[in-house]
Amino acid sequence: MNPIPWIPSANMPVRAVMLLPGQPFTDQTGPHGQGWQIVTGVLRLDGPDDPRPVVLAQPGDLIGVAEAMGVPRPSLLRALVGCRLAPLPRPDGDAERHARLSTLVLQQWRQTLDMARLRNGSVPERVKQLLLLLTRAHPQGELHLPRLRDLAATVDSTPESVSRVIAN
């Protein structure tokens, strides 16, 4: 499933936030209190007691929407690779609210499938799936690699195994 393309709204001045690889992101609700949309890059959502990412958010994905609706998440967001985020505007009405919720449902389904591909199969196959996901994260088709330990945690392997796969 392809990520939803980012389209700035007419009522939203685009004030993007840039994150460096590994940089944590704490302002989940954003300046408008509605969350963010990822423009480029990949964010990882970590659980409170697990060094592995629970979810990877890609371009077009919405983040912080649940928090904006008052649903707390005991998690940490961190850039897996460099990211650019744009704040979401307040919805103009019910139709836009419903469209945003529909986007979230589809996004969660895709993220679940992505994580299943990154956690099942041989290490070379999981690394291949992650590299494909990272290639899609930048519209220019560039491949930005995260730190080796983040690659390994994402595919549920060791840094040594992932290093051997990449070297081959």
How do residues 7-39 score in pLDDT, each as one tens digit? 444 454 557 899 999 999 988 888 877 889 999
Cα separation of 83 and 134, whole Å?
11
Would you state the structure tokens that stand for residue 148, as one six-digit string? Answer: 């080796």
Q: What is the pTM of this model?
A: 0.82
Spatial neighbors of 80 by CB under 8 A, at least 6 apart, are 21, 41, 42, 43, 44, 53, 56, 134, 146, 150, 154
Cα radius of gyration rounded to whole Å, the chain: 16
Cα separation of 152 and 156, whole Å?
6
Q: What is the mean pLDDT of the chain?
A: 85
* Single-letter amino acid, residue 4: I
Would you state the structure tokens that stand for residue 93, as one six-digit string? Answer: 């009405």
CA angle 29, 35, 37 (to 5 degrees): 145
pLDDT over 90 (residue 2): no
